[in-house]
Amino acid sequence: MKIFVYNLREYDEKAYFDRFCKENGCEYDYTAQPPSLDTVSLARGYDAVNIITTPMDAALLECFHKLGIRYISTRTIGYDHIDINKARELGIKVANIAYSPNSVANYAIMLMLMACRNITHILKRADVQDYTLKGKLGKELSNCTVGVIGTGKIGSTVLKHLHGFGCRLLAYGTHPNQSVTQYAQYAPLEILFQQCDILTLHTPLIPDTFHMINKQSISAMKDGVILINTARGALIDTAALIEGLDQHKIGFAALDVIENERNLYYLNRMNEVIGNHDLAILSSYPNVIVTPHTAFYTEEAVSNMVENSIKSLCDWEQGRENPFEIK
């Protein structure tokens, strides 16, 4: 099998591509550029393309199809950047991947702890040598009721790890996970909004979850709620979030993802006028943390992402069932 890789990062991914392509008996070439109408021709003569979160719209898929591309693997769990219906129409198979759930789960809990202890405020005041205590009072995570929305691999790992903190744990998921009941009680979403001090999102972005956190749901939450998002930015209506912060309904927001983050993460935009007003507003609040979509970024996760994206393509080529196929 011959694989063409887009958006390959030489500083962390290339060694894994070298290793896992060799182990699986396939060839690959790559570019650091994203797939686009200008770079599609680079995949001529290949069986598959390997991508990240860059858009794969109908026009681009048509071009890959004309080149003979049969398979697409995205090195991400989310696949909302790919026009799946168009891919099906063209007969192109699409797969996502799985990676260590500890990466995002640990990061989400880190954000919870930072929010509970007002760590950004503490660090900023330490930078100017203000070591007084006033305004730094925090809350203990162990005394909080935490609601986890989405109980797949990452959400269930968050619950498992939070159990050790002694929190009261509530969970919501459209497909309940039996293992979760060891640590948490499943409840309707309305109950999580009413009772939780902290809400953390771990659900995929699909039409049913778009803006699931909106003006109405925020109004139903506890005053001073802490909101954590390490999943997808569009799960939250940003205008409603900003209004909730302005009205002190939301006590703290810690966001590893935001709406309209494309063309921001993972680019160096230093000294540029970005023009993302929502990001500018959110970054101005002392009770908001915005990190650049890095919750996944550990050695283990990057290795998993590359290995699983290669293995799934080889599964198709060799006639095996692909556990990562988007059906």
Q: What is the phi/psi pair of residue 171, to 5°?
A: -135, 150
88 part of the active site: no
Question: What is the C-alpha to C-alpha distance for residues 308 and 109, in angstroms, rounded to an integer?
Answer: 26
Alpha helix locations (H) across the chain? Answer: 14-24, 58-66, 84-90, 101-116, 119-127, 153-163, 189-195, 215-219, 238-246, 277-284, 299-317
161 part of the active site: no
* Residue from 259, 261, 307, 317 carrying the catalytic annotation: 261
Whether residue 279 contacts residue 258, with contact meaning beta carbons closer than 8 Å, is answered with: yes
Whether residue 86 contacts residue 58, with contact meaning beta carbons closer than 8 Å, is answered with: yes
Determine how many CB atoms are found less than 10 A away from the CB of residue 302: 20
232 part of the active site: yes
Q: CA nearest 95: which of 120, 72, 112?
A: 72
Provide the 8-state DSSP code for 297: -
* Helix axes of 238-246 and 277-284: crossing angle, nearest 10 degrees: 30
Whether residue 278 contacts residue 242, with contact meaning beta carbons closer than 8 Å, is answered with: yes
Q: What is the phi/psi pair of residue 202, to 5°?
A: -145, 45
* Residue from 232, 259, 307, 317 carrying the catalytic annotation: 232
Question: What is the C-alpha to C-alpha distance for residues 33 and 301, in angstroms, rounded to an integer?
Answer: 22
* Residue from 75, 293, 307, 317 carrying the catalytic annotation: 293
Q: What residues are labeled active site?
A: 232, 261, 293
